[in-house]
Amino acid sequence: MAKLDIIQEALGAGVQRGALIHEKTGITQPVEVVMAEDDRLLAIVQCTESGLERLHPSAKVRVEIPRDNAVILIQGLVRECRAERACELVEVDLDCLNAELRQRRMDVRIASSCRIRIGGEDGAWDETRTLNISAGGALVVCESRAAVGERVEVEFELDGELIRCAAEVLRRGVKIHGAHSRTNAALKFIGLSEAQREKIQLFVLRAQAVAKLDRHR
């Protein structure tokens, strides 16, 4: 019987959002755990029609919920999936095989290229791209005049959602692949909302799941 004390404690502290990962395909979907009892987990999943088909009874999945600098990892099998209509929120009932807390740097940066706009004190905006990103910040290709220690405004899009926040320029000319570049800057995000931070963490979890699947193919 899976011991779900760790997830029950997290739910009591209001920690319940993360990712549901289909073990066979590595496909990741946002999830919110609503109940954990004995060896059973009840969760709400944002699901497309094709995703709903994958969540058939006995499908092997895992749920990962970021907590501080660790991840609550729950491995299980789909018992039942209930939806009034596809492409909406789906109630998923899981039989849990194992639950544990794994230490993991949740501020780890993953290689990712997405468009990002950087605004300085002069009111001008530079449009560029990220080289990597995490919930803590990003490394960007940047020829702006922003100096180390300067605070800038940034906005970028993840999975169709626009994220806006402040950032501090930590370093310029960061070494990439063994070579320094004058046209990049390491940014530290400031003032992310909890929802924005969860959005980026889910993006990171999804990328990690895909990378893990690729390594095992």
Q: Where in the chain is CATH 2.30.110.10?
A: 5-104
Q: Quickly count: other Cβ atoms within 10 Å of residue 15's Cβ.
A: 16
Amino acid at 159: D
For the domain made up of 5-104, give the CATH fold.
Pnp Oxidase; Chain A (2.30.110)
Report pLDDT for 1: 44
Report pLDDT for 153: 92
Q: Quickly count: other Cβ atoms within 10 Å of residue 208's Cβ.
A: 19
Q: Which letter, b or e, does each residue of 39-70 get, where b requires 16 or more Cβ atoms within 10 Å of its Cβ? A: bbbebbbebeeebbebbeeebebbbbbbbeee
Enter the CATH code of domain 110-199. 2.40.10.220
Residue pair 4/39 in contact by the 8 Å Cβ criterion = yes
C-alpha to C-alpha distances, 145 to 25, 109, 151, 171, nearest whole angstrom: 43, 24, 12, 13
**C-alpha–C-alpha distance, residues 20 and 43, integer Å:** 9
Q: Where in the chain is CATH 2.40.10.220?
A: 110-199
pLDDT(217) > 70: no
Query: Using 50, 70 and 90 to split pLDDT, how confident is the model at 144?
Result: low
Which pTM value belongs to this model?
A: 0.65
Q: Which residues contact 169 (CB under 8 A, 6 or more apart)?
A: 146, 147, 148, 149, 150, 151, 152, 185, 186, 187
Find the mean pLDDT for residues 91-110.
Answer: 81
Report pLDDT for 124: 79
Report pLDDT for 70: 80
**C-alpha–C-alpha distance, residues 199 and 30, integer Å:** 9
